[in-house]
């Protein structure tokens, strides 16, 4: 038992200390942020969102949706597109926010299971990669007027796990961050083009 415990602990440490690097996709052009007309509070939810990862997923469909939602909406918050957001269960909107946002779509993680095994057995000296594609569909509703808007955005992130990437750890997630920023910016500006988020803030 002690032997297997030591082996399991070693493998866990190697995994945590293995280097990884993310690279952004090129499906979406980089666009500049815009000055918002308003910065409302929104409620967000995960609807018909599916998640698949070759080799087995560690999180549920709903959890995967919440993770990508949080990444995009934090970007909206940083740009003052919204002042705050709150997660609610599907179709459990309270009516207290100005807008309701629902995510659907699909997230696909493509990887060679064989290479994942070989990479693990060689303690990540042999690299393996995972390409995660996001096909996001967002439905937005103005709670007061009932007006509804829909937008679709797609892009991907490639993650390479390789021991030699360990020294680059501080920069590991730059590619993923760039992809999330582009997804967030395109989704928001698509909504604005449709007439959402255009109510000027009232000055007291």
pLDDT value of position 167 = 60
- On whether residue 86 sits in a domain, the answer given is yes
CA distances from 9 to 4, 80, 87 (A): 8, 44, 35
Tally of CA atoms within 13 A in the half-sphere of 182 that contains its CB:
20
Asked whether residue 45 carries a pLDDT value surpassing 50, the answer given is yes
Q: Give the span between the Cα atoms of 49 and 102, in whole angstroms.
A: 10
Number of domains in the chain: 1
User: Is residue 12 included in any domain, yes or no?
Assistant: no
Res. 122: pLDDT tops 90: no
pLDDT of amino acid 162: 62
Instruction: Please report, rounded to a whole number, the percentage of residues in the chain having pLDDT higher than 90.
Output: 61
Contacts of 52 (CB under 8 A, 6+ apart): 106, 107, 108, 109
Task: For residue 76, tell me if it sits in a domain.
Answer: yes
Range of the domain at 65: 19-28+36-194
28 Cβ neighbours under 8 A, 6+ residues apart? 153, 154, 155, 182, 183, 186
- Helices 61-78 and 174-194 cross at an angle (nearest 10°) of 80
CATH code of the domain containing 23: 3.30.160
What mean pLDDT is predicted for residues 93-108? 97
Has residue 73 been placed in a domain?
A: yes
Task: Decide if pLDDT at 11 tops 60.
Answer: no
pLDDT (0 to 100) of residue 62: 94
Residue 151 domain-assigned (yes or no) = yes
pLDDT at 15 over 60: no
On whether residue 44 sits in a domain, the answer given is: yes
Q: Is residue 9 part of a domain?
A: no
CA atoms within 13 A on the CB side of 35: 2
DSSP lists the bridge partners of residue 50 as 106
**62 within some domain:** yes
CA distance 86 to 128: 36
């Amino acid at each position: 038992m002690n032997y297997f415990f030591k082996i399991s602990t070693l493998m866990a440490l190697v995994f945590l200390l293995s280097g990884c690097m993310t690279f952004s996709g090129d499906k979406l052009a980089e666009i500049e942020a815009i000055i918002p007309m308003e910065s409302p509070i929104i409620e967000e939810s995960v609807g018909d969102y599916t998640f698949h990862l070759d080799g087995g997923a560690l999180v549920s469909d709903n959890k995967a949706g919440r993770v990508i939602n949080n990444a995009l909406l934090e970007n909206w918050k940083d740009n003052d597109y919204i002042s705050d957001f709150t997660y609610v269960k599907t179709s459990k909107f309270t009516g207290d926010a100005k807008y309701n946002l629902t995510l659907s779509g699909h997230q696909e993680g493509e990887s060679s299971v064989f290479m994942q095994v070989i990479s693990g057995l060689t303690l990540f000296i042999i690299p393996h990669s995972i390409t995660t594609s996001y096909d996001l569909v967002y439905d937005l509703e103005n709670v007061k007027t009932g007006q509804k808007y829909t937008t679709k955005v797609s892009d991907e992130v490639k993650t390479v796990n390789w021991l030699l990437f360990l020294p680059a750890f501080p920069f590991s997630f730059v590619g993923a961050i760039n992809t999330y920023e582009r997804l967030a910016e395109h989704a928001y500006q698509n909504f604005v083009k449709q007439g959402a988020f255009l109510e000027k803030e009232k000055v007291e």
